[in-house]
Every structure is written in C-alpha cells, then in structure tokens.
Structure 1
C-alpha cells in the first residue's frame, strides 16, 4: 500500500490555519487525490470542525489535548481517514500557540511508522498583523511579550513558512514582509498566499506534495519563559441554542455581531485581550455564519454571514484569551445575557468549558 502523506500545520492564533487547510484540501481533491483535515485543539466543540464540515471537506476531530500527546489516537484517525474516506493526504493543525509538534509528532512517526506515512513539510502559517510584532517596527498589538516569544519559536520550527492574508498587502509591503522572513528564518522556504481569495494555493499544493520534511532537530526549550507564555492563555469553549420568544424570524447576524462586541467591550473594560475568538452559527439548510476577532482593537471579520432571518440559531464559541478564567467566564455570561435581553431570546447552553493552559487537572 502506498504511504499516506501527512502534514502538521502550525501557526499563531488567528493566522488562518483552518481557512488555509480548507483551501488546500479543496485544491488537493481536484489535483492530487482525496484530502482530509484533522481539527485539533485543547478543548471540545470546535468551530473549525463545524466550518470544515459545511465546506464539504472530509474532517475528523481530536480534542481535549494537542496531538503531540495523543499519538495513538492520531495514528488511528489518519488510518481511519485513509481506509474509510480514501484519503491520500491528511493534514492536522495544532493549538494556535502550540510549539513542539516536530519533535513530538514528526520524529515518532518517522521512527515508528516510516513505512506507512510520508511526512510532508512541517508548515507554519503566519499573517502580516502578528508578524509586525517581531519586525523592526515592533508593533504593539497589546499581546504579552511571552506570546511574541512563542511566535518566534513557531517560525524557527518550520520546514515551510506560509505568509497568509497577502490580499491585504500592497506589492511593496509583501516584499518587505518576505524580506524580513528571509532574514529571520534563513534557509526556510516562504510561500505567499491568500487562503480567503484562494491565491497561491496551487504553489502551496505543489510544494507540500512534492517535498518531505527535513526532520530537523528542534527541541522546544521548556524553560521559565516558555511556561510563562503558556500561562498567559485561557481557553473558552461554549455550545448553545438561541430562539426568539415570540417565534418570529429576526436578523441573527445582528445577534452574533452584538454578542462578539459585548465580549470585546468586556475584555477592554478589564484591560484584557483575545488573540483569537471564533464563532460558528447555523440555522440549518446550509445557512451559516463564521466570524473571527483577532484582538480587542480589531473589527469583526466575517468569512460568511447568514443569508436569511431566522427564529433560532445553533452556535459555537471558541476563544483563546489573555485573561484569567474566572473573569473571562463572567464577561462571557454577561455578554450573552445582554444579547438575550436585547433581542428577547431564550437561550439553552449545552456545553461550557474555561481553563488556563497550565491549570491543574485540565
């Protein structure tokens, strides 16, 4: 049996890993063979899984821990995608500040399953806004210095760096970002794309199907600085159902927008931030909304909004916040209560979890 090609996609919170994987999977299915995605994160009820499913891409989910610490589960999922879905190429992301999958995933797979898996280049997605934090201008986007340290480590780990969201750059700015990356991570190939606009995806596809990982030795330094960086983040996941009390259809896009805005204002009031907040909302029959917020100083970004008014809505919220768990839980509840009062909605919460990366017993 021909080895299945597997790739880890790393990158900072909000860089566009999921959008890139979806765009790449769609392209590979047309040009290479069946491609599948594994959505991975520290919690459960992932926006990425729901979004990937509605695009028609084959997806599996590994939650509650990074794939770095679920090797048996990862191998089983790849085999299942190969055997049941006919996948020839499987890619998995890791949590958005994750570092170390080269050491914890690639090397064990090469050592223990080298005849079964071909390891595509370890790919790190970055975006212009976050990259500015380590460029000469040292942009302050109100994230702790410890998280900047994680971004630097991610870039160093890569076999391939992908600069996403290039549709937002002028030609001169794109050259400036690429020149910086060539200096910061010399000898690592760089590809510019816009996953949203589907530009550069063909070049990315050719690279990851035509090359393999260098399997370089990159062991993360789990020192005090690394531990402090992980300790800054709190994970929040919620799944809920909203419906109008009078049974009438309303503009649920406004509900989603006001809920995110309430969360943003709550974080600003507490002088906290959210490197990435994602929502997925659907009323069924293919009508859905996908929204993102990459910081309290930014506008809400919509990959898609609901096309019609609705009387009910199923919703998932994933947030990765620089905020302690208890105040984050309170402000999330306050924002939801305010929206329900404003739009006269009933709300049923099915699932909520909120934890710090270093919380005991997580």
Structure 2
C-alpha cells in the first residue's frame, strides 16, 4: 500500500490557515487525488470545521488540544481518512499560537510509522500585517511582545513559508516582504499566495506534493518565554441559537456584524485585544455567514454573508484574545445581551468554554 501523504500547516492567529487548506484541497481533489483536512484547536465547537464542510472537502476534527499531544488520535484519524474516505493526502492545522509540531508530530510519525505516512513539507502561513511586527519597521499592532516571539519561532520551524493575502500587497510590497523572509529564514523556500483569491495555489500544491520534509531538529529556545507568550492568550468558544421573538425574518448579517462589533467595543473599553475572532452562522439550506476579525483596530473580514433574511440562525463564536478569561467571558455575555435586546431576539446557549492557558486548575 502506498504511503499516505500528510502535512502540518502552522501559522499565527488569523494568517489564513483554514482558507489556505480549503483552497489547496479543492485544487488537489481535481489534480492530485482525494485530499482531506483535519481541523485542530485547543477548544471544541470549531468555526473552521463548519466552514470546511461548506466547501465540500472531506474534513474531520481533532479538538480539545493540539495534535502534538494526541498522536494516537492523529494516527487513528489518518488511517480512517485513508481507509474510509480514500484520502491520498491529508493536511492538519495546529492552534495559531502552536509551536513544536515538527518535533512532536513529524518526528514521531517518521520514527514509528515511516511505512504508513509520507511527510510533506512542514508549512507555515504568514500574513503581511503580522509579519510587519518583526520587519525593520517593527510595527506596533497592539499585541504583546511575547506573541512576537511566537511568530519568530513558527518561521524557524518551517520547511516552507507561505506569504498569504498577497492580493492586499502591491508588487513592490510583495517583493519587499519576500526579500525579508528570505533573509529571516535563509534556505527555506518562500511562496506567495492569496488563498481567498485562489492565486498561487497551483504552485503551492505542486511544491508540497513533489517535496518532503527536511525533518530538521527544532526545539523552543526558551521554554519560559514560550510559557509567558501562551499565558497572554485566552480561548473562548460558544455555540448558540438565536431567533426572532415575533418569528419575522430579519437581516441576520446585521446581527452577526453587531455581535462582533459589541465584542470589539468591550475589548477596547478594557484595553484588551483579540488576535483572532471567528464567527460562523447558518440558517440551513446552504446559506451562511462567516466573518473574522484579526484585532480591534481592523475591519471585519467576510468569507461569505447570508444571501437572504432569516428568522433564526445557529452561531459559533471562536475567539483567541489577549485578555483574562473572566473579563472576556463577561464581554461576550454583555455583547450577546445587547444584540438580543436591539433586535428583539431570543438566544439559547448550547455550549460555552472560556479558558486561559495559565488558568488555575486547567
């Protein structure tokens, strides 16, 4: 039996890992063979899983912890995708603050399952806005210095670096960003794409299917500094159902937008930030709204908006915030209450979790 190809996709919060994996899977399903995606994060009820399912790609989920520490589960999922779904190529992301999958995942698979799995290049996605934090201009985008350390580590870990969102750059800017990356991580290939516009995807697919990992040795230089960076972040996940009290149809795009705006304003009031907030809302029949925010100073980005008015919607919120867990929980609760009152909505909460990596008892 031919070995199943597997690739880990790393990258900072909001870099576009999921959108990149979807674009790759859609292309590779037509040109290479059945390609599947594993959505991974520290919490449950993931926006990324729901978004990937709307694309028609084969997707499974490994939640409640990074794949680095669930290797038996990873191997089981890979075998299932191979045997049940006939996948020939599988890619998985890791949480946006994640570092260490090269050691924990790649080296483990190479050591214990070399005949089963072929390891494609360990690929790190970066976006221009976050990259400016470590470029000569040292841009201040209101994130703690500890998180800059995480971005630097992720680049060092890469077999290949992919500069995403190139549609937002001029040709001159793109050349400058690429030149910086080639200096920052010499001997590591740099590719440019726009996952949203589907440009550069063919070249990226060719690269990852014709190359393998260098399987280099990589470890976190300073465990204390890494722990300090992780401690800055709080994970928040909520799944809920919202409906109009009079059962009339309204613009649910406005509702979703206002939920994000109220969370933004709450964070600004508390002088906190959110490196990545994602929402996914659906009312069935294929109509959905997917939005994201990469900081309180940025505009909301939409993958898709509702095409028509609805009287209800199911909504998932995933937030990765630079904010204490108790404070963030209160901000989101207040935002939901405000929006429900504004639009005369009833809201049923089915699932909520909010935790910081340094929270006592975690």
Deviation at 1:49, TM superposition (A): 0.2
2:102 corresponding residue in structure 1: 102
Q: How many residue pairs end up in the alignment?
A: 362
Secondary structure of the residue aligned to 1:284 is coil
Q: How does 1:82-231 map to 2 (within 5 A)?
A: 82-231=82-231
Cα deviation per residue 1:78-102 (whole Å; 9 max; x = unaligned)? 1101111100000000000100000
1:240 corresponding residue in structure 2: 240
| TM-score (norm. length: structure 1) | 0.99
Measure the CA separation in 2 of the matches of 1:76 and 1:222.
32
Measure the CA separation in 1 of the matches of 2:320 and 2:58.
25
Deviation at 1:268, TM superposition (A): 0.2
1:326 corresponding residue in structure 2: 326
Measure the CA separation in 2 of the matches of 1:124 and 1:189.
11
Cα deviation per residue 1:34-69 (whole Å; 9 max; x = unaligned)? 000000000000000000001101000000000000
Cα deviation per residue 1:100-148 (whole Å; 9 max; x = unaligned)? 0000000000000000000000000000000000000000000000000
Q: How does 1:23-102 map to 2 (within 5 A)?
A: 23-102=23-102
Residue ranges of structure 2 left out of the alignment (5+ in a row)? none
Deviation at 1:357, TM superposition (A): 1.6
Secondary structure of the residue aligned to 1:221 is coil
Deviation at 1:222, TM superposition (A): 4.7
Cα deviation per residue 1:252-290 (whole Å; 9 max; x = unaligned)? 000000110000000000000000000000000000000
Secondary structure of the residue aligned to 2:156 is helix
Secondary structure of the residue aligned to 2:321 is strand
Measure the CA separation in 2 of the matches of 1:131 and 1:237.
27
1:269 corresponding residue in structure 2: 269
Measure the CA separation in 1 of the matches of 2:286 and 2:221.
45
Secondary structure of the residue aligned to 1:306 is coil
Deviation at 1:361, TM superposition (A): 3.6
Q: How does 1:300-315 map to 2 (within 5 A)?
A: 300-315=300-315
Deviation at 1:195, TM superposition (A): 0.1
Measure the CA separation in 1 of the matches of 2:222 and 2:231.
12
Measure the CA separation in 2 of the matches of 1:279 and 1:120.
30
Deviation at 1:359, TM superposition (A): 2.5
Measure the CA separation in 2 of the matches of 1:39 and 1:284.
22
Q: How does 1:251-262 map to 2 (within 5 A)?
A: 251-262=251-262
Secondary structure of the residue aligned to 2:243 is strand
Deviation at 1:225, TM superposition (A): 1.1
Secondary structure of the residue aligned to 2:292 is strand
Measure the CA separation in 2 of the matches of 1:72 and 1:357.
23
| TM-score (norm. length: structure 2) | 0.99
Measure the CA separation in 2 of the matches of 1:286 and 1:248.
20
Cα deviation per residue 1:319-352 (whole Å; 9 max; x = unaligned)? 0000000010001000000000000000000000
Deviation at 1:221, TM superposition (A): 3.0
Secondary structure of the residue aligned to 2:49 is helix
**Root-mean-square deviation (Å):** 0.6
Measure the CA separation in 1 of the matches of 2:220 and 2:89.
27
Secondary structure of the residue aligned to 2:84 is helix
- The answer to whether structure 1 residue 351 and structure 2 residue 333 are counterparts is no
Measure the CA separation in 2 of the matches of 1:54 and 1:240.
19
| Runs of 4+ deviating beyond 3 Å | none
2:13 corresponding residue in structure 1: 13
Measure the CA separation in 1 of the matches of 2:241 and 2:354.
19
Cα deviation per residue 1:205-234 (whole Å; 9 max; x = unaligned)? 000000000000001235221110010000
Measure the CA separation in 2 of the matches of 1:262 and 1:273.
13
